Structure 1
Amino acid sequence: MSATKTPDTQGVRFSESVSSTLNSTADNFHKSPWPMRRHTPFAKTPQSRRIQVGQKSGRLTRTPPNESQISDWKQLINKTWHTYCVTPMYQFSYEADQMKKYSQHLSAQLKSEANKGTGVSCDESFADRAVFRVLKGLAIGADDCEAVDITVTSKKAGISKTIFSAMLISVEAQVGDQMQIANHNFTNLPLLLVKGPMAISRTVVDFLQTGFDCVINPLKFCPMELAWMVTVWTGFTEDGSKKPTELFYKVPDEVKGLQRITLTIEADDAKALWDSVHEEGSNEVTGEEVAAFIKSLERHFYRHFKVHLDAMTITRIGTGVAYVGQEGRLKILSENQVIHVLAYLTDLALTNTIV
């Protein structure tokens, strides 16, 4: 085992072959000390947390999109996005002429903001043109609306390049009775992913809220949701992928000279621990399994370093599927798991839009 301390910035990094001791810890963890409701706002495990663990891809039970549709959303992979939740949009239309009108109106608003000197244009480029288009292949649930892609381009020396991207998404949305939208004038796209300058982001968000009478707020993730993600996504296996599982803990301010602790578990050890806590053959992950997975890691860390990680806050997680931060940053790494990640986040976005 090796552990290094970098007092000013990086904290402690932990990595070793731990499967045997982790498994023994998990075996002793018969009943979770964490109440079920502490780990999930749901009365029961939602559909997005039911997984097909027997398949290599680890996908949810669903009909996968066509290969031609997959190419449309490959642009999601290996990019850092900011996540938002969106209430139902009033009188949004997928008609081609309406999409063209939205594009023209947003383009005009971006240019207007730039002319006011509000900083919409970036250092070397000017926000020249916005385009709305339908993004095929993500509306796979009965309650899903087709995803919408919004791009903003700039032109410099006669060459156009994309400087901003946003996607309004609904993947396997589970609309409860309290959120049934009786009026067909509403379009439900609860998840918004944004990548680009903050000035343009603010303009686009304002355009959507004003034009479609919706409310858009940042989607942030509490420590219990990050614990769910790292546990569930560790259970997915990728052919040839050996990316470790990582948990980043914020050290209390009272501890001087150390800002965070990074706990790193090799892919094989993390999967072995997952297999030891997860009920074989089950397509559902429970709160007790999440608690067992996290507590096993924390107890093992304490055994070697005498540091109580459970007294700290999980602020970021990383797996072979995705990296997620509590502030709402998302980076999807696995092309095979895009649908699952978006379904999971759609579920969380819907929860945050329930009033």
Structure 2
Amino acid sequence: MSRRKSSVLLPFNLNASKTVNETAENVTVLRTKKTPANRRRTLVEVVEPELDENGLEVFEDLKQKMWSVYRLSDLNSFDNTKPTTFPRYERILSRYLVNSFTQAVTLQAKFKLKHDIQGFDQEDLPVHIKVEDVQLSQPRLVYEGLLLSARKSGGSKTDGVVHLPVLLARGPRAVREKVHDCLSAVFSSSIHEVSFPAEDMHWMIAAWSGFINESRNNKEVSFMYGIPSRTDTIQCQYSVNFIKDLWSCIHDKDNPVVELSEVKRFYSSLIKHTKNTIGLNLAAVPLIMYKTPDFELHTVGKVKVSTLEFIPRILHFIADLCDTQNMNDFSQP
């Protein structure tokens, strides 16, 4: 049985390649904004959480939802070890939201302690936050957030400070901003939106390519590129088997460590394949979305996971990314 060839979808007119050439200067500017050499990763260890089927069940609430990723500095005076303090936080957030909107709303916030869903074995356990509109007979969810931990850094823990550097959130932007403003004010924490730079996207794509699988309804992997100064996009599709075979030619599946040279070789091979197939050079065009049957990543900091086993992998990487960005902020003069 012959292997299916990769296909390329071009949902735009034939002038797209010309547009890329015309905007080459702008693209070059984008590509020159690289991570400083002293902060650039050269290898990543792919973490495989030791979770059984019961352990994976806790991820059901995260599946099939589009999450926006945020990073937080340490939360002060946030006692997440005692759920008895949560009703106070719920009242504060509920009142803040009601007073923040000009129209009459009846919003109710709920905080709930979650057990360690990432396998980090941290003292600072995840916290689930929900905000519901309770005006109707059936409450309507308007905000959902999950505060998550990161790996143990080995440093001493400061009393009264909670280290939950990752916030996954979804809901209307207006509500998200109000909720985060309140959390920042109450717990003296700064909250920032997270984007996935091209380098991080390439790492995630390469590191997880060996694990992706076909589904009944989806057997393709999609790369979406955005043309600067235009709303047009270029979408390239490859078969799952093509991506897995390409990665297996570059990386030993038994080696948990992925090196930078392998990531570069993998991505450049895809670019070369597309150029040889249809004559379109995407080397200077920004990647904005990567989608597989298992998960979906956007450079603007959005993630959606369809397969349970991929959730801990992605959470581990995002947690390390947020923790690193926070440390870089504090280390800057």
TM bin, normalised by shorter chain, reads 0.7 to 0.9
Could you tell me how far 1:40 is from its partner in structure 2? 9.7
Question: Which of 251, 276, 291 is equivalent to 2:227?
Answer: 251
- Alignment length, in residue pairs? 305
Structure 1 residue 168 displacement after superposition: 0.5
Per-residue deviation at 1:43?
4.8
1:31-110 alignment runs, 5 A limit? 41-45=39-43, 49-51=44-46, 60-64=47-51, 67=54, 70-94=56-80, 95-110=82-97
Measured against aligned partners, the alpha-carbon deviations of 1:184-212 in whole angstroms (never above 9, x if no partner) come to 22111111011111121111111111111
Shift in Å at residue 50 of structure 1? 2.2
The residue correspondences of 1:156-167 to structure 2 (distance < 5 A) are 156-167=135-146
- Look up the SS of the partner of 1:141 in the other structure: coil
Deviations 1:155-203 (A, max 9, x none): 24422122210110125x252x7xx354122111111011111121111
> What runs of 5+ residues in structure 2 fail to find an aligned partner?
18-33
Of 111, 128, 135, 1:149 maps to: 128
In the alignment, does 2:224 pair up with 1:219?
A: no
Alignment partners' CA distance in 2, 1:61 and 1:149 = 24
What per-residue deviation string (whole Å, max 9, x for no partner) do you get for residues 16-69 of structure 1?
xxxxxxxxxxxxxxxxxxxx9789945553xxx423xxxxxxxx34432672x6
Q: TM-score, normalised by structure 1?
A: 0.77
Deviation at 1:78, TM superposition (A): 0.7
Q: Tell me the amino acid that sits aligned with residue 326 of structure 1.
A: T
Alignment RMSD (CA, Å): 2.8
1:201 paired to 2:176: yes
Distance 1:66 1:264 in 2: 32
The 5-angstrom pairing of residues 1-355 of structure 1 reads 5-7=10-12, 41-45=39-43, 49-51=44-46, 60-64=47-51, 67=54, 70-94=56-80, 95-114=82-101, 117=102, 126-143=105-122, 145-171=124-150, 173-175=151-153, 180-238=155-213, 240=215, 242-253=218-229, 259-354=232-327, 355=330
Aligned CA distance change for structure 1 residues 240 and 61 (closer, same or farther; 3 Å) = same
Identity within the alignment, %: 19
CA shift in 2, pair 1:349/1:314, >3 Å: same
- Name the CA distance, whole Å, in 2 between partners of 1:101 and 1:190: 22
| Cα 1:158–1:39 shift into 2, 3 Å | farther
SS at match of 1:311: coil
CA contact (8 A) 2:8 2:238 kept: no
Q: Give the aligned partner of residue 19 of structure 1.
A: none
Provide, for residues 108-144 of structure 1, a one-character-per-residue CA deviation record: whole Å limited to 9, x for no partner.
Answer: 1111113xx0x6x7xxxx4421001112242522446
Q: In structure 2, how many angstroms separate the alpha carbons of the residues matched to 1:225 and 1:352?
A: 12
Q: 1:271 to 1:39 in 2, by over 3 A?
A: farther
Residue 215 of structure 1, CA deviation: 0.8
Distance 1:41-1:314 versus aligned 2 partners, 3 A rule: farther
2:26 is aligned to none
Residue type at the aligned position of 2:45: R
Cross-structure match for 1:27: none
Distance 2:187 2:238 in 1: 45
